C-alpha cells in the first residue's frame, strides 16, 4: 500500500464529510491550505507531529488515517451477542454528537467510510436506507426512504419521505410532501409546499415555494422570492425577479428576463425578452421583438406594438 497516497485520500474524505474547507482544516492545524491541498493530491505527506492533531480533529485514530484496521479484540460471534443483548454497542469516538439523530453510515471492516457515495461507486454497489415510521432528524450516507420527519433530512443519495419539518439536503433527487424549510438537491425535486428556498440541479415540480428557486426548469404554484432557471418557468405569482428561457406565470414583483417569450400578468419591474412579451401592466421598461400588453410605465424598445 502507498501510505502517502492513502493518508491524503482519507484526509480529503474526512474533511469533506465534516463540511470543512481546506482553509478551515489548515487553520485548526496551524498550517497553510496549500499544504492540505498537497496532501490530498498525493504530492506531500503530513509531518509526523501533526498526526495526533489530525486524528483528534476528525475523531479517528492515527491508524485509521492510513487506512489501517485494528485487530479484532473479540470474536465476531461474541460481538454479535453483545449487540443483540444490549441493543447495540456504544461508541465514544464517532464524529458526531449523541443527539438522537437517526444516522445511516457505512463501515468497511472497522473503518468508518467518510465518503460512502464514492466508495460505493468504486464497488458498483447501491445502498438504500429504509425506515418505517417518523423520525426526529435523519442523516444518511445513502438514499433515504421514510415517513414524516420532525426535523431535517440529509442524504448522500435521493430522499423519498412524507412531511419534513426542517430542511432537505440530498445528493440526488427529492420526492416528498410538504417541507417547512429549504430544499437542496443534486437532481429533480417533486414535493408539496416548500416554506424556504429550492436549489436543484434539474427540474422542480411542487406547490408553493416561500423563497427563491434556482433550477433547470420549474412548474409550481406561487414563489415568494426570485427565480433563476436554465429552462422554462411555469408558475403562479413571483415575489422577485425571474430569469429563464421562457416564462409563463402570474404577477411578477420584479424584473423578467428571458431568451424566449414572456406570458404573464402584471410585472412590477422591467421586461426583456428575445421574442414575445404578452402581459398585463409593466411598471418598468419593455424590450423585445413583439409586445402585447397593458400599460407600460417605462421606456419601450420593440419592433411591433399591439396594446392599449
In the chain, domain spans: 3-65, 96-211, 230-308
At 149 the pLDDT is: 87
State the Cα–Cα distance between residues 198 and 56, nearest whole angstrom.
36
Q: Taking 50 as the threshold, does the pLDDT of residue 63 lie above it?
A: yes
Lowest mean pLDDT across 27-31, 254-258, 264-268, 301-305:
301-305
**291-299: which pairs have CB atoms within 8 A and are 24 or more residues apart?**
294/266, 298/270
**Terminal CA-CA length for the chain:** 77
At 239 the pLDDT is: 96
Q: Which three cell numbers stand for residue 17?
A: 464529510
At 113 the pLDDT is: 56
Its CATH class, for the domain covering 3-65, is mainly alpha
Mean pLDDT, all residues of the chain: 81
Lowest mean pLDDT across 46-50, 186-190, 201-205, 300-304:
300-304
What pLDDT band is residue 91 in, cutting at 50, 70 and 90? low
At 103 the pLDDT is: 61
State the Cα–Cα distance between residues 196 and 181, nearest whole angstrom.
5
At 268 the pLDDT is: 95
Report, as an integer, the average pLDDT of 72-80: 45
At 212 the pLDDT is: 96
What pLDDT band is residue 134 in, cutting at 50, 70 and 90? low
CA 203 to chain CA mean position, Å: 14
Look up the pTM and report it: 0.62
List, in sequence order, the alpha helices (H) in the chain: 3-17, 22-29, 33-40, 51-58, 62-65, 76-86, 116-123
Report, as an integer, the average pLDDT of 120-138: 61
Report, as an integer, the average pLDDT of 240-255: 95
State the Cα–Cα distance between residues 40 and 33, nearest whole angstrom.
11
At 78 the pLDDT is: 47
Amino acid at each position: 500500500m502507498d501510505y502517502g497516497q492513502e493518508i491524503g485520500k482519507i484526509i480529503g474524505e474526512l474533511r469533506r464529510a465534516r463540511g470543512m474547507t481546506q482553509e478551515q482544516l489548515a487553520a485548526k492545524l496551524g498550517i497553510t491550505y496549500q499544504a492540505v491541498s498537497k496532501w490530498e493530491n498525493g504530492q506531500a505527506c503530513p509531518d509526523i507531529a501533526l498526526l495526533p492533531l489530525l486524528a483528534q480533529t476528525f475523531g479517528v485514530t492515527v491508524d485509521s488515517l492510513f487506512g489501517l484496521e485494528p485487530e479484532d479484540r473479540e470474536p465476531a460471534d461474541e460481538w454479535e451477542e453483545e449487540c443483540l443483548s444490549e441493543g447495540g454497542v456504544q461508541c465514544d469516538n464517532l464524529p458526531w454528537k449523541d443527539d438522537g439523530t437517526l444516522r445511516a453510515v457505512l463501515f468497511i471492516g472497522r473503518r468508518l467510510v467518510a465518503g460512502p457515495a464514492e466508495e460505493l461507486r468504486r464497488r458498483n454497489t447501491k445502498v438504500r436506507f429504509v425506515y418505517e415510521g417518523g423520525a426526529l432528524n435523519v442523516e444518511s450516507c445513502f438514499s433515504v426512504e421514510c415517513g414524516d420527519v420532525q426535523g431535517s433530512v440529509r442524504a448522500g443519495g435521493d430522499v423519498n419521505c412524507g412531511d419534513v419539518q426542517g430542511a432537505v439536503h440530498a445528493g440526488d433527487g427529492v420526492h416528498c410532501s410538504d417541507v417547512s424549510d429549504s430544499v437542496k438537491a443534486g437532481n429533480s425535486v417533486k414535493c408539496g409546499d416548500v416554506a424556504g428556498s429550492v436549489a436543484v440541479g434539474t427540474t422542480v415540480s411542487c406547490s408553493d415555494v416561500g423563497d427563491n428557486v434556482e433550477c433547470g426548469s420549474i412548474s409550481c404554484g406561487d414563489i415568494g422570492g426570485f427565480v433563476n432557471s436554465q429552462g422554462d418557468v411555469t408558475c403562479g405569482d413571483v415575489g422577485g425577479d425571474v430569469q429563464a428561457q421562457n416564462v409563463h406565470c402570474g404577477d411578477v414583483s420584479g424584473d423578467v428576463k428571458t431568451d424566449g417569450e414572456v406570458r404573464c400578468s402584471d410585472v412590477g419591474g422591467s421586461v426583456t425578452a428575445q421574442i414575445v412579451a404578452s402581459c398585463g401592466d409593466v411598471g418598468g421598461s419593455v424590450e423585445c421583438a413583439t409586445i402585447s400588453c397593458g400599460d407600460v410605465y417605462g421606456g419601450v424598445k420593440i419592433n411591433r406594438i399591439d396594446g392599449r
